[in-house]
A = this chain, B = another copy of it.
Amino acid sequence: MQLCKRQVWICYKHVLNEVKAALCQFLFCLDFHVILKASTDLLIKQLLNHIKTYHHLTDEAQAALRECFEEKILGKTEYLVTAGKICKHLYFLERGALRGFYNLDGKDITHWFGFENDFVTSFHSFITGEPSVENIQLLEGSVLWGITKESLNRLLNLHNDLEKLLRIAYEKYYIRLEERYVNAQFKAAAERYQNLLEQTPHIIERVPLGHIASYLGISAETLSRIRSRF
Q: Assess the B111–A185 pair: CB atoms within 8 A.
A: yes
Contacts of A174 in B (CB 8 A): 123, 127, 170, 173-174, 177
Chain A residues touching B, majority SS: helix
Task: Indicate which residue in B102, B171, B217 contacts A170 across the interface (CB closer than 8 Å).
Answer: B171
Q: Assess the A175–B111 pair: CB atoms within 8 A.
A: no
Closest to A125 in B: B175
User: A104 on the interface (CB 8 Å rule)?
Assistant: yes
* Oligomer: number of copies: 2
Task: With a 10 A CB-CB cut-off, give which of A156, A160, A178 has the most chain B CB atoms.
Answer: A178
Contacts of A184 in B (CB 8 A): 181, 184-185
Chain A: residues with Cβ within 8 Å of the partner, total of 30
Closest to A104 in B: B186
Q: Assess the B186–A111 pair: CB atoms within 8 A.
A: yes
Task: Indicate which residue in B167, B181, B182, B185 contacts A167 across the interface (CB closer than 8 Å).
Answer: B167
